[in-house]
Amino acid sequence: KQEVTQIPAALSVPEGENLVLNCSFTDSAIYNLQWFRQDPGKGLTSLLLIQSSQREQTSGRLNASLDKSSGRSTLYIAASQPGDSATYLCAPRNAGNMLTFGGGTRLMVKP
């Protein structure tokens, strides 16, 4: 059974800092991995999708890396802004098209 851990659980930083959010998973037999953002009271918004054959994926100030063999993924946020405040969730996906979520990292970026 896949288990996903996200560290840290919460993070509070001043605006402008570069951030690293960590995700680890126990079963490395994944098909891909998705990073999501969740604002309070809202659904999940997909940020990045990394296929198992890829090492990283970039979108704007976001960069996600994947080390499948060691069961780790990292989300890097450059030059953080108050609008980045949200919960970030990672979810590896197996060949059965099933996602398993971690507990998330609650990010607060202060002006």
Partner 1 sequence: EAGVAQSPRYKIIEKRQSVAFWCNPISGHATLYWYQQILGQGPKLLIQFQNNGVVDDSQLPKDRFSAERLKGVDSTLKIQPAKLEDSAVYLCASSPPLPGELFFGEGSRLTVL
Name the site residues for partner 1 (rule: CB under 8 A): 4, 6, 31-32, 34, 36, 41-46, 49, 51, 89, 91, 93, 95-104
Q: From CA 57, how far away is CA 69, in angstroms rounded?
A: 17
Q: φ and ψ at 40, to 5 degrees?
A: -55, 130
Shortest spacing between CB 15 and partner 1, in angstroms: 25
- Considering the complex, what minimum distance in angstroms separates the CB of residue 49 from partner 1? 5
Could you give the residue ranges of the DSSP H alpha helices within 1-111?
A: none
Minimum Å gap between C-beta 41 and partner 1 is: 8
- Give the residue with the Cβ less far from partner 1, 29 or 79: 29
Alpha-carbon gap, residue 79 to 59, rounded angstroms: 14
